[in-house]
């Protein structure tokens, strides 16, 4: 199996734990559900919580 090139960029760095998620994503309870790199799409969910 060929080794896959590591993806870079803010989105991928957050997903890999190299960067913290943006505060707005934390407040909204942002959750990655699915990534389709062939279609260039992502599916996310949100569970809003208290900002305090």
Contact yes or no for 48/31 (Cβ under 8 A): no
Distance CA 46, CA 15 (A): 16
- What pLDDT score does 8 carry? 82
| Pairwise pLDDT comparison (7 vs 33), residue with the higher score | 33
pTM value is 0.60
What tokens does 5 get? 């090139």
What φ, ψ does residue 22 adopt, rounded to 5°? Answer: -60, 145
pLDDT of residue 34: 92
Query: Per residue in 14-46, pLDDT tens?
Result: 988 999 999 988 888 889 899 898 998 999 999
């Amino acid at each position: 199996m060929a080794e896959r090139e590591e993806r870079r960029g803010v989105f991928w760095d957050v997903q890999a734990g190299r960067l913290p998620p943006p505060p707005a994503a934390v407040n909204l309870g942002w959750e990655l559900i699915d990534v389709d790199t062939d279609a260039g799409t992502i599916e996310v969910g949100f569970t809003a919580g208290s900002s305090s």
